[in-house]
Amino acid sequence: MIPLSAYVALSAILFMTGLIGVLIRRNFIIVLMSVEIMLNAANINLVAFSHYLESMAGQMTALFVIAIAAGEAAIGLAIIIVVFRGKIATNVDQVNILKW
């Protein structure tokens, strides 16, 4: 039996990888991909606790997280297309029109 802390540690490592990706990358799409890594880390955590506490609630929450991630990807990519079409930028630090 693998200890629960192994799963939680893996989830923490993946979450921090995604967070560092959000902080250091300049490209829009890579930033969104890093957000997906963070959502996956949260899913691992939820499913691991669901397995070890023998409850269905964690798996249900993970299922809803996946649905929300799909919506987030669609909206985020639509916003990226709009920003790119307006020839504003392809990097996050160049988008500085929306200042206030």
Partner 1 sequence: MIYLLFGYFATVSIIAGVFTIALRNPVHCGMSLLALLLHVAGLFVILNAEFLFAVQIIVYAGAILILYLFVLMLLNLKTEEQFLHKKYPFALFAGVAILGELLILVFQTPYGGIRGKATTEVLLTTGPSHAIGITMFSDYLLLFEIVGVFLLGAIIGAIVLAKTPSSPVAKADRSN
Site residues (CB under 8 A) for partner 1?
2, 4-10, 12-14, 16-21, 23-27, 29-30, 32-34, 36-37, 40, 43-44, 47-57, 59-60, 62-64, 66-75, 77-82, 84, 90-91, 93
Tokens coding 72: 């987030």
Determine phi and psi for 91, rounding to 5 degrees: -115, 150
User: What is the nearest approach in angstroms of partner 1 to the Cβ of residue 51?
Assistant: 4
Residue found under tokens 């990519």: 77
Q: Which is nearer to partner 1, 3 or 100 (CB)?
A: 3
